Structure 1
Amino acid sequence: MERNTRQPTVAHMVTLLRLLLLTMALGIAGAGEATPPAYELGVKSRDGIGKYFMGREIAQVMGHQGAAWLERPERQEEEDTAAVVRALELKPEWVVADIGCGTGYYSYRMAPSVKEVLGVEIQQEMLDLLMAAGKKKNITNVKPVLGTITDPKLPAGGVDLVLLVDVYHEFDHPVEMLTAIRQSLSATGRVALVEFKAEDPRIPIKPIHKLSEAQARKEFEALGFTWERTVSTLPWQHLIFFKR
């Protein structure tokens, strides 16, 4: 029986090489696409929604009926809100997004120092309160933005600072929200996250409405953010800065 002794032609070798290079390219591209952390369903606590993200149960959203709590007279003493604003190091040319702005407590404290504040809410009732406060204060550079639970509706690359005060732990779609927030930031943009310290049991806030620095960093870094610095000197909260 005669054996087949034909050698591969140059054309065959070129084809094989192209297939090999294509396979390697697809493998490299796939390796760079990290799969976002998944949500899980679990036991629902009294103030939670039974949905978990990276081991943390997501808290229920505070409704507009609780708006008065945002303007409580003792808030400055409890949270040192003036120190928070100073730590933001605001600049006159900045566009700032205050996500979960509520009544505009922080929006109107930042407005005199920046070009524009985008007050983002998912409740129209909160935006109505925001704009009513603006008329009363005669401040015109705070703009209302009605977002959704998955999209803050911010301009791509058009925001210099995103402020999240006691709201991130209530995002029921944190993956989608953080992805959209990251896309909204300018090349030098940052996120300033303010949350009650889960590390301190003496702080009189329900545990589900607290967030530890370690947990915050784990979640943000999983979505592509880079930790920059943490301000730990506030009475009840920490202020954590992330870069895109």
Structure 2
Amino acid sequence: MGFHTYPIERAAALDDPSRYRFCSREELLELLDPDSATVVADLGSGTGFYAADVAPFVDRLYAVDVQREMHELHREKGVPAAVEPVTADVAALPFADAELDGAFSVMTHHEYADDAAFAELARVCRPGARVVTVDWSADGSGTDGPPLDERFDAATAVEQLERAGFTTEIVRERPETFAVVARR
């Protein structure tokens, strides 16, 4: 993904249940609001931690990660039937125009956040598609997650999405993270 990638040697940390203190399965599902016919992409899926949570609620989930090694670790754990690992950069998604009903990223927005990625996301999302972004906030303390200088604040994330044609529906700012829901 654009700016950096998560270190493979630390991938085991991506499966740590303590991650739910920043975004729970229930919050993610509430924000994404999928149904059994939904086709979504998990942007920066890593080892599939959140993909496994969303998969039972959708028809198809593309687990997108730029690192093939992350998919190998995901396969070792077991990939749910609804999940298809896809090795790609968010700026070059291998999907048809308007193929996705939604997309989400949890703690990975800062890894791909540039205009090319958002333009590509707009291309592959159908009108009405919901895009959920939960990420580390530049307004946080920096004790968890990436360094503060690699983060964005909620207002910047909203601006990035809106510049690509998305309309913001929800913005939640928390001590260390933010959550944004936008529609295509």
TM-score by length of 2: 0.87
1:188 corresponding residue in structure 2: 128
1:102 corresponding residue in structure 2: 46
Structure possessing the higher relative contact order (Cα contacts under 8 Å, 6 or more residues apart): 2
Q: Does 1:160 align with 2:101?
A: yes
Inter-partner Cα distance in structure 1 for 2:66 and 2:95:
13
Q: Quick check: 210-219 or 177-186, which moved more? A: 210-219
Structure with higher Rg: it is 1
Unaligned runs of 5+ in 1: 1-57
Inter-partner Cα distance in structure 2 for 1:109 and 1:186:
23
1:145 corresponding residue in structure 2: 86
Inter-partner Cα distance in structure 1 for 2:32 and 2:164:
22
CA 1:106 to 1:237, structure 2 compared with 1: closer, same or farther past 3 Å?
Answer: same
2:63 corresponding residue in structure 1: 119
Inter-partner Cα distance in structure 2 for 1:162 and 1:220:
12
Q: Shift of residue 239 of structure 1?
A: 1.4
2:140 corresponding residue in structure 1: 200
Q: CA RMSD in A?
A: 2.2
Inter-partner Cα distance in structure 1 for 2:175 and 2:140:
11
TM-score by length of 1: 0.67
Unaligned runs of 5+ in 2: none
Q: Is the 8 A contact 1:228 1:242 kept in 2?
A: yes
CA 1:104 to 1:162, structure 2 compared with 1: closer, same or farther past 3 Å?
Answer: same
Q: Does 1:82 align with 2:26?
A: yes
Aligned residues: 182
Q: Quick check: 162-171 or 76-85, which moved more? A: 76-85
Q: Secondary structure at the match of 2:128?
A: strand
CA 1:78 to 1:177, structure 2 compared with 1: closer, same or farther past 3 Å?
Answer: closer
Q: Is the 8 A contact 1:134 1:142 kept in 2?
A: no
